[in-house]
Structure formats: C-alpha cells, structure tokens
Amino acid sequence: MEYRQPIPTTLSPHDLLLSFYGGLENSDDGFLVVSPDGNIAYINEAYCNYINVDRDEVLGKPVLDYIDTSLMPSFAADLTIEPQVGVLHKVSAQQYRDGEHYSIVNRTNISEAGRSISGIGQVKFVRSTLKLSAAINEVYEELSHYKSELSRLSAERYSFDRILGDSEQMQAAKELAKRTTGNNFPVLITGETGTGKEVFASAIHYASTRKNKPFVRVNCAAIPAELLESELFGYAEGSFTGARKGGKKGKFELANGGTLFLDEIGDMPLVMQAKILRALQEGEIERVGGEMPTPVDVRIIAATNKDLAHEVSEKRFRADLYFRLNVISIQLPPLRSRTSDIDLYIDAFLAKLNGQYHTDVHITPEARKTLNQYSWPGNVRELKNIIERCFVLQEGGIISSILIPHNIRKTSTAAFSTDHGTQDLATIMDSVEREVLISTIQRYQGNLSAAAKELGIHRVTLYKKLEKHGLSREDCS
C-alpha cells in the first residue's frame, strides 16, 4: 500500500500517532508491525498476551523467532504482494492457545516512493470471534424463542376453540372457516356489527401456514379517503410535504408473507378499490410517489357488515373486486338468531371478569331471562359491554335485572308480553318481588335473618314471601 502525503487528518502528526496507538492498545485483536528486515517493530498488548511474551523483550527481534508461521517478513520486504483481508491462518505451535488452530488475519505492505516501510498484520483471534458469535447466537436464539412464544400465544388466543357458540349456525361458520386455513384464497366474512368478524379472521390466520408471519389489520372506514392509499401502499421519500425521510412502508408491505385483514371494506372508496384489485391480480404494489413496483405475498381476508352484492348493483362497489374477494364467503349469524348461545356468552364474560378481578359475581335468573329476551342489535359486542357495565355496578356479588339498562329491560318486557299476553300490574310486581328476594338472599349467602333485616321486614314475613313464590333457601343460594 503506497503511503501518501499528507495524511488526511485534522490532528497533528504527534496527536494522530497517539490516537492510533491508543486504539491499537485498546483492541482485543492482535496488531503486528514488522520492519523490512523481518524484525518486530511494534506489537500490541493483546498479541503479546496471546503468544505469552513480554513486549520489551521481543521488540527489534526477528518475528519468526516467536511466530514461526508468520508471513509478515515477506509482506514487509516485497512490494508486489497483494494485500490480504480476512484470510485463514494456521496457528503455529508457539501460538497455540485455548484450543485455537486457526486465526483470521489481514495483511498489507506499507511503502513510499518504491521504498518498503513495513508490513502490518491484524489478527482476529478465534476465541474473540467465537465469543462474538456466541453472543449473537444467544440473542438470536432468545429472539427466536420470544417469536415462537408470541406465535404460540397468539395462536392459542385466537384459536377456533376460543370462539364461543354451540348453535348450529355458529358451528357451520367455524367449520367453513377451518377449511380456509389450508389454502391462500381470499376470504370474505360478512355479518352485522359485533358478530365477531375480526375474531374469525384472526383464527383463520393463526391456524394457517402463515401463522408465523404478520397479521395486519386495517379498518377501511376509520381512515380518511385521502390517506388510505399511503396507509395501504406506503409512500416514497419526498412524495409530499412532510413525508418521512426514506419513505414509509404501507400495510401491504408490512403484511408481506402473512395476512392483511381489510375490515369494513364495503366503505372503501371506488378509486381505492381499483388499486386493491390491481395489487391482488399482479401480486405487487407501488408506493405513493414511487417509480418501481414492489412484489408482495399477502393473503387478503376482507370483512363487511354491508350486502356487497347490493352495493355492486348500486354501483358503490366494484363487481370485479367483489368477485375477486368472494372466493370463500363466511356469513356470521346475528345473536338474535341463535339465542341458545346467549347464556354461554354471559357465563364466559362473567368468568373472565371474576378471574381478572378475583371476584365471585353471579347473575340472578331474572336478570339472565331479561338478557335472553333482548334482540341484541349490537350482537356479542353489545352483550359483552352490558355484562361489564353490570359487573361494575353490582353490589354484594349479585347482578340483578335492576342493573340492566332500562331500554333493554323495556324491550325484554315487551317481547315477553308479546309471547305470553299482556301482564297486569300485580303480576309484574310479583316478578320484581321474587327477583329482589332471590338477589338479597344470595347476597347474604343464605342468611335469612340478615336478608330480612336488609329488606326491612320480619323474618316470618320473609318466610311467607318465599312460600308465596315457591322458593326455598336452596333456590336462592
């Protein structure tokens, strides 16, 4: 390597020399400078420790006396030898330490105007390289473990077994969804708000071969139309004022290799529908302001609470995109059409809340009946919200129907009256009294004296009321 004057630096020659010296002495690599006569001109502390010599003793001595396999005398004397970087060097018996048979070295000649100045060698000891490699492997293994554990927990959380519903409609929907996990065809999930479309989409992803890749969610109705394109496809650097340096990946790129869940796709603007269709057909996207397409491997699961066939007929949804998405269609039934599942959800939601807050809250039969008679326009999500509300308002560990919002109780009463005829005031009062008795006795864990005191009546009166309603202490426990 030809030495050039001057050395490009802002330091004085003296300060530059000290800086290099400090760096070499601080390195765990071995550094060796050999003069053209083959003698050691400099050796750093790390190399001295490696070959177990005292620096003052070896300076000015032939390098081959201490490192008999060294090629540095040749590099120091011969200007025609090409520099070597990252070559494997067999360690001599004199160097053999800690079971190392080889080291990795860099070698070069330093010259000026055809005059050899020195040969310089840098030795990367195998033990240091292995130590670094072991540290990297440890981090990699830890990362792999966490990724695997995250994937396992996600798969467990979103498994089909966690989707509640024993009704025939829900069982049919789950069976159809399970059949989509072995392929990469688009899936269209339809159903009213709150029926669990995202839960089904997650279960499909985490049961598929893409489960170890990203599952990316996009709510098409929640993103302004002018931002939706950059959100889905990303943007190139400088594509608009305020664009991030280096650009930004969109949801398609983030989901590469995995699944992209397009929720509320029925609300997507027509111009974006055309771009989505192209991405599905071509298997590539183009960032906003970009010039080159980017290939993507993404499975699409779309969901909507709209009738897309009707939207197509009204020219609000592209027919070609509808047919592209509607390869496998899963219709989720509303809760009012599978009332047999309501009790299942009530018990599951209460069990989760009791476990989370270490409580033992129960719901009275009358409150349960009220919830079963409601039509649930908000479906499972609405029922979950009501159970959580009642859980917060309960006293003494009992959820009675009085805690249920008036609009639900009113609707439930109307539905009950329609089915069983108009009830007179006495019947309604008896029903309320019966529930109050049950909830109060439950709150005091069957202690009738305490319950009577709470109700402000004599214990004998309480017995008579229980008899009137055909109740026993056991019925209220």
Structure tokens at 209: 């071969």
Domain with CATH 3.40.50.300 in the chain: 158-333
Name the more confident of 237 and 414: 237
Homologous superfamily (CATH) of 13-124 is PAS domain (3.30.450.20)
Domain with CATH 1.10.8.60 in the chain: 336-476
**What is the C-alpha to C-alpha distance for residues 265 and 306, in angstroms, rounded to an integer?**
9
Identity (one letter) of the amino acid at 34? V
Domain with CATH 3.30.450.20 in the chain: 13-124
Query: What is the architecture, at CATH level 2, of domain 336-476?
Result: Orthogonal Bundle (1.10)
List residues bridging with 104 in a β-sheet: 88, 124
Mean pLDDT of the chain: 86
Instruction: Please check whether residue 40 is in contact with residue 32, taking contact to mean a CB–CB distance below 8 angstroms.
Output: yes
**For the residues of 287-350, what is the DSSP string, one character each?**
-BT-SS-EE---EEEEEESS-HHHHHHTTSS-HHHHHHHTTEEEEPPPGGG-GGGHHHHHHHHH
Per-residue DSSP letter, 160? G
**What is the C-alpha to C-alpha distance for residues 341 and 78, in angstroms, rounded to an integer?**
88
| Residue 420: pLDDT band with limits 50, 70, 90 | very low
pLDDT value of residue 458: 86
Structure tokens at 390: 């009642």
Instruction: Using a cut of 0.75, tell me whether the model's pTM lies above it.
Output: no
CATH (one of 3.40.50.1000, 3.40.630.40, 3.40.50.300, 3.40.50.970) for 158-333:
3.40.50.300
Reply yes or no on whether the pLDDT at 247 is more than 80.
yes
Question: Which of 247-251, 371-375, 439-443 has the weakest average pLDDT?
Answer: 439-443
Highest-confidence range of 66-75, 325-334, 412-421, 440-449, by mean pLDDT? 325-334
Instruction: Please check whether residue 106 is in contact with residue 84, taking contact to mean a CB–CB distance below 8 angstroms.
Output: yes
Sort 262 into a burial class: Cβ within 10 Å, 0-12 / 13-18 / 19+: buried
Structure tokens at 166: 């024993």
Please state the rounded mean pLDDT for residues 210-214. Answer: 91
**How many Cα atoms sit within 13 Å of 450 on the Cβ side?**
11
Three-state DSSP state, 60:
coil
Reply yes or no on whether the pLDDT at 102 is more than 90.
no
CA triple 278-279-281, angle to 5 deg: 60
Reply yes or no on whether the pLDDT at 353 is more than 80.
yes
Reply yes or no on whether the pLDDT at 224 is more than 70.
yes
Reply yes or no on whether the pLDDT at 436 is more than 90.
no
User: Which residue bears the tokens 């599942």?
Assistant: 341
Reply yes or no on whether the pLDDT at 425 is more than 70.
no
pLDDT value of residue 467: 80
Instruction: Please check whether residue 224 is in contact with residue 198, taking contact to mean a CB–CB distance below 8 angstroms.
Output: no
Q: Which long-range contacts (CB under 8 A, 24 or more apart) does 435-439 make?
A: 435/364, 435/365, 435/366, 435/367, 435/400, 435/401, 435/402, 436/400, 437/462, 437/465, 437/466, 437/469, 437/471, 437/476, 438/364, 438/365, 438/366, 438/471, 438/475, 438/476, 439/364, 439/398, 439/400
Residues in contact with 62: Cβ distance below 8 Å, sequence separation at least 6, in sequence order: 38, 39, 40, 73
Per-residue DSSP letter, 192? -
Question: Which of 216-230, 317-331, 349-363, 440-454 has the weakest average pLDDT?
Answer: 440-454
